[in-house]
Amino acid sequence: MTKKRKKLRGTVQKVIASLDPRGTDKAQIDIHGADELYREIRVENEVVDENGEKARLKPGAEVDVIVEADSSSTIKKAG
């Protein structure tokens, strides 16, 4: 099944340490161009490269945020 996607740019604003020592830190990301009230998201601060090696984002890092959906879950845009 085909997918529709949109790539958005963002910047890691800060890294929030987990209160639980076994927990994962969170990266707070500011999505460029998003509405003011919905600009910030927080995600687990863990990324993986093509070799499976884990790393963490640092404040100020430029990132891509990808929104992806099956084509069957989208509506064709008019015009």
- The whole-number pLDDT of residue 79 equals 78
> Mean per-residue pLDDT for 30-41?
95
Does position 76 have pLDDT exceeding 90, yes or no? no
**Spans of all domains in the chain:** 3-63
Q: pLDDT by residue (tens digit) across 41-62? A: 999 999 999 999 999 999 999 9
- The whole-number pLDDT of residue 23 equals 87
CB–CB of 10/34 below 8 Å? no
Q: pLDDT by residue (tens digit) across 23-32? A: 889 999 999 9
Six-digit token string for 4: 């529709």
Six-digit token string for 26: 């969170």
d(C-alpha 16, C-alpha 76), whole Å: 39
